[in-house]
Structure 1
Amino acid sequence: MDVGEYIYPLWSLGFYLLGVFLWIPIGLILLGVIRFIRGAT
């Protein structure tokens, strides 16, 4: 029984979800800025 075999998938999944949750607001902010620039010009 190797503990690493059970921890690694959970750790990688948690890291992936963390990245997704970080990029969602960043993406929304970028979209808002792009739309604002296009609307201003």
Structure 2
Amino acid sequence: MEQFIRSDEYYLQDASVIVLFYLHFRLLIYWTESQVIYIRKKD
């Protein structure tokens, strides 16, 4: 049983890392898009 619990914990850690990475990636894209729109409006 211990092995299953440990693998579950590792799986949860991996999932949270992936979610955090995805959120940072989305935030970066959103910020980049807003910068591009801002620059286009200036012209």
The TM-score bracket by the shorter chain reads 0.5 to 0.7
How much identity, in percent, do the aligned residues show? Answer: 8
Report the RMSD for the aligned CA atoms in angstroms. 1.4
- 2:18 is paired with a residue of what secondary structure? helix
**Partner residue of 1:11?**
10
- 2:11 is paired with a residue of what secondary structure? helix
Provide the TM-score with structure 2 as the length reference: 0.66
**Partner residue of 2:26?**
27
Unaligned runs of 5+ in 2: none
- Which 4+ residue blocks in structure 1 deviate beyond 4 angstroms? none
